[in-house]
Amino acid sequence: MNLALFLTLGRIVLSPIFLLIYIYHVQLGISLLTLPFILIGLVVLAELTDLFDGMAARLRNQVTELGKLLDPMADSIFRLSVFLALTQGFVKLPLWLVLFFFYRDSIISLLRTVCALRGFTLAARFSGKVKAVVQGVAALAILGLMIPYALG
């Protein structure tokens, strides 16, 4: 397994970790005061793996069809996990918003998979990259807003 695929799979592994920490922080002994910082750290780590996996693949000449397929799926899995968690607990994002993201990402993933099976690559578009940045910033902003709540 090359470095880029390792980073991509790492992002998928971070998804249930984020969910478990967000939902079970009390049982895990994580105080409300430290929770936002841990969650922000996980989101930053995931976003950095997103930034560096493609860079590593291109610099090391290790771009693979599997990587082209898994990278956007890993992005969706992680970000949807974050936003799904944020429908519960302190924040209470509307579930319809997360379902909208899920619907959009599912259609794109399906199209990418069909194209890959037919020997084509559905390349990422600039609008998709903008969406990813906006979602990442939104997740960080929402988690950042948990800090004053945690402080009382």
CA dist 44 and 128 (Å) reads: 19
Report angle CA 1, 113, 73 to the nearest 5 degrees.
Answer: 60
3-state DSSP call for residue 109? helix
Lowest mean pLDDT segment, chosen from 36-40, 64-68, 80-84: 64-68
pLDDT band at 143 (very low <50, low <70, confident <90, very high): very high
pLDDT at 24: 96
pLDDT at 90: 80
pLDDT at 152: 78
CA dist 13 and 2 (Å) reads: 16
pLDDT at 11: 96
Q: Between the CA of residue 71 and those of 28, 53, 54, 93, 94, what are the distances in Å?
A: 30, 8, 8, 26, 27
Digit-coded pLDDT (tens) for 11-63: 999 999 999 999 999 999 999 999 999 999 999 999 999 999 989 999 999 99
CA dist 135 and 112 (Å) reads: 20
Q: Which residues, including other chains, have CB under 8 Å from residue 6's CB and lie 6 or more apart?
A: none
* Helices 65-85/3-24 angle, 10° precision: 10
- In this model, does residue 5 exceed pLDDT 90? yes
Digit-coded pLDDT (tens) for 107-140: 988 888 888 888 887 777 788 889 889 999 999 9
